Amino acid sequence: MVKIIDIEFLGTKSAIACFLIDSGDGLILIETGPSTVYDNIKINLKKEGYDIEEVKHVFVTHIHLDHSGGAWRFAENGAQIYVHPEGANHLINPKKLIESATKIYGDKMDMLWGKINGINKNNVKSVEHKEIIKIGNTTIKSIHTPGHANHHIAWKINNSIFTGDVAGAKIKNGPVLPACPPPEVDLEKWYKSLELIIQEKADILYLTHYGKSTDVLNHISEMKNILKNWADWIKEKKSRYDNIEDLTNAFNDYVYDYLKNKHRLDENLIDQYYAANPPYMSVSGLIRYWEKSN
Ligand SMILES: [Zn+2]
């Protein structure tokens, strides 16, 4: 049984999730959100009849702060944190991670992510591609899925895959949208990772942004299309604007129009999408991708 927990990031509902599984041998949490939402998670677990200190295993899809910025708090309670080998050192010593996030978020760092402490290396477990981990009555398979970031893992349990950011965001009845932040976006890797997800023949995708998606093949195909669409848009437009601010504004308008006029989303749902993945991040991520691939 998977319980979806709304961490209510910045007070916004259905933008960022974490997932609770009772293994019969300690609680498993997939994703943690940033440390600022630790108390929200605690309250949610209480409602389910659990104490947050019963969380003994934390699986993070990748080390971006909206997914695992708060993992250190669970490690302080004695939890093992399972992560991609390329992410492990950044959990142990988050200095570079903080520097690179500060480039994107500037003086909003603290408001968004709160405190980011290092994790004792004994509490960090690197997981290889296709490694199988058994905890209590739960079997978890790792699927290395680079593209959004090199250190990305999708976690498979039974017929479900917890996709982090590899399968994009889909909130309620809205469309699938990718997040393409710098510095590691790589389209070729990303398409291959989406093929890996298809090959796993799952019935359910659990999206960190946000919740369950059950029409798996259509979901993945929508994701491939929009990823290509965004990447092509940036490739074509980047030379037409003198500066990144104008390009970013134009891209924001483009995404807003897609959500508002093509998909008829109300303002509240659009806000939820923007809280989950502000489109501006994808502009610099995709510019960087095209500069690297030329
Ligand atoms: Zn994310």
Ligand 1 center to residue 127 CA distance, Å? Answer: 20
52-82 pLDDT tens trace: 999 999 999 999 999 999 999 999 999 999 9
- Per-residue pLDDT of 244-294, as tens digits, reads 999 999 999 999 999 999 999 999 999 999 999 999 999 999 999 999 987
Among residues of the chain, what percentage have pLDDT more than 90?
A: 96
What is the whole-number distance in angstroms between the Cα of residue 195 and the centre of ligand 1? 20
**Contact yes or no for 6/17 (Cβ under 8 A):** yes
CA proximity to 142, closest of 169, 121, 167, 163: 163
Overall pTM surpassing 0.85 (yes/no): yes
Average pLDDT of the chain to the nearest whole number: 96
CA of 68 to the centre of ligand 1 (A): 9
Q: Which residue has the tokens 């917890």?
A: 162
Give residue-wise pLDDT tens across range 141-190: 999 999 999 999 999 999 999 999 999 999 999 999 999 999 999 999 99
In this predicted structure, what is the pLDDT of residue 55? 98
pLDDT of res. 254: 97
Rounded distance from Cα 208 to ligand 1 centre (Å) = 7
Q: How far is the CA of 285 from the centre of ligand 1 (A)?
A: 14
- Distance from Cα 4 to the centre of ligand 1, integer Å: 16
> pLDDT tens-digit profile of 120-146?
999 999 999 999 999 999 999 999 999
3-state helix/strand/coil string of 187-253? HHHHHHHHHHHHHCCCCEEEECCCEEECCHHHHHHHHHHHHHHHHHHHHHHCCCCCCHHHHHHHHHH
Mind listing the pLDDT tens digit for each residue in 16-28? 999 999 999 999 9
Q: For residue 186, how far is its CA from the centre of ligand 1 (angstroms)? A: 16
What dotted CATH number matches 2-222? 3.60.15.10
Residue 204 above 90 pLDDT? Answer: yes
Cα–ligand 1 centroid distance for 9 (angstroms): 12
How high is the pLDDT of residue 293?
A: 85
Residue 291 has a pLDDT of 93
Residue 180: what pLDDT? 96
Residue 31 reports pLDDT greater than 90 = yes
Mean pLDDT throughout 33-39? 97
| Ligand 1 centroid distance, CA of 242 (Å) | 29
What local confidence, expressed as pLDDT, does residue 103 receive? Answer: 87
Q: How far is the CA of 145 from the centre of ligand 1 (A)?
A: 14
Interval between CA 28 and ligand 1 midpoint (Å): 19
> What is the model's pLDDT at position 242?
82
CA of 152 to the centre of ligand 1 (A): 11
Q: What percent of the chain has pLDDT over 70?
A: 100
Contact 102, 109 (CB under 8 A): yes
pLDDT in the model for residue 212: 97
Structure tokens given for 74: 């669970």
Backbone angles phi, psi at 200, to 5 degrees: -75, -10
Report CA(218)–ligand 1 centroid distance (Å).
Answer: 21
**CA 64 to ligand 1 centroid distance, Å:** 7
Coil, strand, or helix at residue 148?
coil
**Alpha carbon of 41 to ligand 1 centroid (Å):** 17
Whether the predicted pLDDT of 218 surpasses 80? yes
| Distance of alpha carbon 87 from alpha carbon 67, whole angstroms | 12
Per domain, the residue ranges of the chain are 2-222, 232-293
Pairing of strands 204-207, 160-164: parallel
pLDDT of residue 196: 98
254 C-alpha vs ligand 1 centroid, how far in Å?
21
Query: 51 C-alpha vs ligand 1 centroid, how far in Å?
Result: 26
